[in-house]
Structure 1
Amino acid sequence: MHPLCHAAERSALLQFKESFIINNSTCRFVRHYLPPVASWTLENSSCCSWDGVDCDKKSGHVIGLELINSCLYGSINSSSSLFQLVHLQLLDLSYNNFNFSQIPSSIGNLSKLQYLRLFDSFFAGQIPSEISQLSKLSSLDLSCNSYPSSCSVLGLVSFDPSSKRLLELKRPHFESLVQNLTNLEELSLSLVNIPYPVPSLLANMSSLSFLILTSCGLLGELPTNIFQLPNAEFLHLVQNPGLIGNLPDFNRTSHLNYLNVMGTGMSGEIPASIGNLGSLEQLSLSFNNFSGLVPPSIGSNGFAGPIPCDLMNLTRLTTLNLESNKFQGPIPSSISRLKNLMNLDLSFNNLSGTMELDSLHVLKNLTTLGLSFNKLSLLDKINSSASFPNLTMLSLASCNLSEFPQYLQNLDRLMYVDLSYNNIRGLVPQWFLETSKETLLILDLSHNFLTGFDQSPLVLPWVWKRFYNWSGYWTHSEH
């Protein structure tokens, strides 16, 4: 049962819709797609039931507006009826085209906002100081407003360095923007032009867990306390060559699971205490000025030759991670003896040969499987009833796949799927859109030869719609 809709807010939403061109030609990605605002009509007077609109169950006020990839095209200014929705707590306008508009200063009217996401929507100009008045914000994402649009998932990789940054942070500067945002948990400003130092006050934001500052033109010394924030989990500061500093000593209480400072001007020795980061899953320190020895606590190596068959005698193993080495030759068929394996990652080696995934289906306990970026050719002949029932993470990038693996359709726990850099052609099948609908968080289908969907979805079906990468090698302008 939806709450009653306030007439003034219904009118404001309809005025907002009417201020844009909305049709298939204005969609950023999927064509033949019915955008959420299609349900916004006078005939359907209950605005709380409209797609993309969330209302408070007691008061009936509109508190959430999620219009991701809603085919909105046109300019927006401070007189927009959007800013009459003063009860909004969440506003997400990502993946639209606001035609190089400035972010309106009236954004400051939305004083209850906790989530503001304007990712990759062709906003331009100076970020308004009024955002600094939104003291309840816990998530702020202004990333990837560039021309041409150049970001992939999360704005982390594969952006075009020649792209023009559309947004800038000069007046107000970085520090004045965030000084009142003491509740921030997520801050993402990739490709915003910020030719200033990272403010030291960021290192005092104890709630900050997620920081992305890709290619911002940052200058000066990075406060080392940034790396020691008590709740920091995800730090991505790549492609800022003017950013200097050293890595600090890390303690065992750190929650960091992702650290990337590639392409910055950081220097000094890599501290041995980096081995204290027990939660770390990804680490990139490349293209910097670090000196000295790589500490053995990282566990760096460059093993080469075939995968030793003696490993297959360790039948109690639960994790086998040989990624990012120089192993070559086929994957030993005797790997099927490791029936207790939960995590298997052989990615980023020189493994070769043709492999049927049938040879791995006996590993019933697998939750993680990574075979990406080898020289393998995978054959999908697996009996779907015998596939990996507990799999949550699957990485098969660059495995010479020519179609969507059929066994995926019976998996209902997947959180991460990477099928990028393959030779998958044609339409995304309808059955694939039913895969792990309640759990999938990250999906990468980029760099294939896809042409669309077997049946165009009204909206992407996965409950946790956060980071999906459809870019790269779609034909007929479908991406």
Structure 2
Amino acid sequence: MPTKLFLLLIFLSHVASSLSKGCHPQDKKALLQIKQELNNPTLLSSWQPHTDCCYSNWYGVNCLPSNRVYFLIIEIDNDLSSSFPPSIGNLPYLESLLIYQLPNLTGSIPESITKLTKLRSLTISGTGISGPVPNFISKLKSLTYLDLSENRLSGTLPHNLYQLPNLEAIILQNNRLTGSIPSSYGYIKNLSSLFLSHNRLSGKLPMSLARLNSMALVVDLSHNKFEGNASMFFGFAKHTETIDLSWNMLSFEMENVELPKTLKLLDVSHNRVYGKLPEGVKNLQWLNVSYNRLCGEIPKGENMQNLGANSFSHNKCLCGSPLPSCKRI
């Protein structure tokens, strides 16, 4: 019996040894260094040196068949407190990085992430990181999705994101960003989502943004200090589905814009938009034009009456259902 037990222990040790070889040593070393740089949080207690990072259920880690780490998620921990771990740049096969709801993660985004040449999706959201949105983001040539929302980022928008040939989404809302939108953003060929709301951005919108024409385009510039014309976002041939320009200082004639035939949601409330509402608004699923300088009769359509008066209130002289009837002379 003791002999059988001894042989069983030898067998199990060989199994453990073979499993430990599954995870690439370079990736395992990088992950353990990341854990150390994050001050060994309880969240990462499953990251143990004697287990395999690919096949032992390490929290937030997924591997390719080649045993290289390609996906890493670290999220939702109010106790984790440290600066941003620079060793994340030592995972050369990483394609997706998601760091979410870590309010006590501080510091700036390290330049070491530029070593992640295969990175396609970068999310750092709901943290305490600060400093600028770094220009070196443009070195991540495989990037398609950039989400740096709900942080403490400041400074101006990086001008060189147009150098990312596959970029489809820019999500930077709820930060402390200032300055204007670079004209180069109109030359991001595949951009389908632009979220810049709840910042301190200002100035006139560059006319180059009229070039944005991707499928299912969503534009949200709300709660900033933009001024002047925003008609470049409109046009019958565009494929835009959502436009939110609310809570700015924009001023343009609404009657002259052509609404994209794909448009479902439009919010231009709390601006200085003037003129009449175009007939096309009656086809929208949702509309808010309140707190502007609009006049004339609200186009008749089932959706318009379903919206309620709040969507049209506080204008110069809008009238008609759901507002009071227009006066006839």
TM-score, structure 2 length as denominator?
A: 0.67
1:47 is displaced (CA, Å) by 3.6
8 Å CA contact 1:141, 1:187 repeated in 2: no
8 Å CA contact 2:259, 2:280 repeated in 1: yes
8 Å CA contact 2:131, 2:152 repeated in 1: no
Alignment equivalent of 1:116, drawn from 113, 119, 122: 122
In structure 1, distance between residues paired with 2:235 and 2:99: 30
In structure 2, distance between residues paired with 1:324 and 1:127: 40
Report sequence identity in percent: 25
In structure 1, distance between residues paired with 2:294 and 2:114: 43
8 Å CA contact 1:101, 1:124 repeated in 2: yes
* Counterparts in 2 of 1:86 and 1:214: CA distance versus 1, 3 Å: farther
1:124 is displaced (CA, Å) by 2.0
1:56 is displaced (CA, Å) by 2.6
Are 2:190 and 1:183 equivalent residues in the alignment? yes
List runs of 5+ in structure 1 lacking aligned partners: 24-33, 148-158, 160-164, 302-321, 327-479
8 Å CA contact 1:94, 1:120 repeated in 2: yes
Are 2:181 and 1:174 equivalent residues in the alignment? yes
Partner in structure 2 of residue 282 of structure 1: 286
* Counterparts in 2 of 1:300 and 1:231: CA distance versus 1, 3 Å: closer
Alignment equivalent of 1:10, drawn from 28, 35, 52: 28
Are 2:72 and 1:65 equivalent residues in the alignment? yes
Partner in structure 1 of residue 273 of structure 2: 266
1:174 is displaced (CA, Å) by 3.2
In structure 2, distance between residues paired with 1:54 and 1:141: 20
8 Å CA contact 2:117, 2:141 repeated in 1: yes
Partner in structure 1 of residue 318 of structure 2: none
* Counterparts in 2 of 1:238 and 1:325: CA distance versus 1, 3 Å: closer
1:8 is displaced (CA, Å) by 1.0
List runs of 5+ in structure 2 lacking aligned partners: 1-18, 154-172, 311-329
8 Å CA contact 2:106, 2:128 repeated in 1: yes
Alignment equivalent of 1:85, drawn from 87, 91, 96: 91
In structure 2, distance between residues paired with 1:107 and 1:298: 51
In structure 2, distance between residues paired with 1:237 and 1:205: 16
Q: Please identify which structure carries the higher helix content.
A: 2
**If you compute each CA radius of gyration, which structure gives the higher value, 1 or 2?**
2
- What letter corresponds to residue 70 of structure 2 in structure 1? I
1:81 is displaced (CA, Å) by 0.4
In structure 2, distance between residues paired with 1:22 and 1:298: 58
Partner in structure 2 of residue 27 of structure 1: none
In structure 2, distance between residues paired with 1:212 and 1:82: 31
Partner in structure 2 of residue 143 of structure 1: 149
SS at match of 2:100: coil
8 Å CA contact 1:259, 1:283 repeated in 2: yes
1:13 is displaced (CA, Å) by 1.7
CA offsets per residue over residues 264-319 of structure 1, 9 Å max, x none? 333332211223x4xx4332222233332222146433xxxxxxxxxxxxxxxxxx
SS at match of 1:195: strand
8 Å CA contact 2:229, 2:250 repeated in 1: yes
8 Å CA contact 2:54, 2:67 repeated in 1: no
SS at match of 1:206: coil
8 Å CA contact 2:84, 2:106 repeated in 1: no
* Counterparts in 2 of 1:128 and 1:43: CA distance versus 1, 3 Å: same
SS at match of 1:119: strand
In structure 2, distance between residues paired with 1:230 and 1:5: 47
> Structure 2 matches for 1:385-396, cutoff 5 A?
none
In structure 1, distance between residues paired with 2:127 and 2:241: 26
SS at match of 1:18: helix
In structure 1, distance between residues paired with 2:40 and 2:95: 25
1:21 is displaced (CA, Å) by 4.2
CA offsets per residue over residues 222-276 of structure 1, 9 Å max, x none? 243356674433333332x233334421253x1x33332332333332211223x
* Counterparts in 2 of 1:295 and 1:324: CA distance versus 1, 3 Å: closer
In structure 1, distance between residues paired with 2:199 and 2:110: 17
Runs (4+) of structure 1 exceeding 6 A deviation are none
In structure 1, distance between residues paired with 2:104 and 2:183: 26
1:82 is displaced (CA, Å) by 0.7
Alignment equivalent of 1:221, drawn from 211, 216, 229: 229
1:129 is displaced (CA, Å) by 1.2
- What letter corresponds to residue 198 of structure 2 in structure 1? L
In structure 1, distance between residues paired with 2:292 and 2:143: 33
* Counterparts in 2 of 1:299 and 1:228: CA distance versus 1, 3 Å: same
In structure 1, distance between residues paired with 2:302 and 2:139: 42
8 Å CA contact 1:87, 1:112 repeated in 2: yes
> Structure 2 matches for 1:329-478, cutoff 5 A?
none
1:5 is displaced (CA, Å) by 2.4
CA offsets per residue over residues 424-468 of structure 1, 9 Å max, x none? xxxxxxxxxxxxxxxxxxxxxxxxxxxxxxxxxxxxxxxxxxxxx
8 Å CA contact 2:187, 2:212 repeated in 1: no
1:188 is displaced (CA, Å) by 2.5
8 Å CA contact 2:183, 2:207 repeated in 1: no
CA offsets per residue over residues 32-55 of structure 1, 9 Å max, x none? xx74x3322223222464232232
- What letter corresponds to residue 249 of structure 1 in structure 2? E
> Structure 2 matches for 1:283-298, cutoff 5 A?
283-297=287-301
Partner in structure 1 of residue 160 of structure 2: none
- What letter corresponds to residue 41 of structure 1 in structure 2? Q
* Counterparts in 2 of 1:114 and 1:14: CA distance versus 1, 3 Å: same
In structure 1, distance between residues paired with 2:130 and 2:246: 22
In structure 2, distance between residues paired with 1:11 and 1:296: 65
8 Å CA contact 1:221, 1:245 repeated in 2: yes
In structure 2, distance between residues paired with 1:200 and 1:43: 58
Partner in structure 2 of residue 461 of structure 1: none
1:15 is displaced (CA, Å) by 1.3
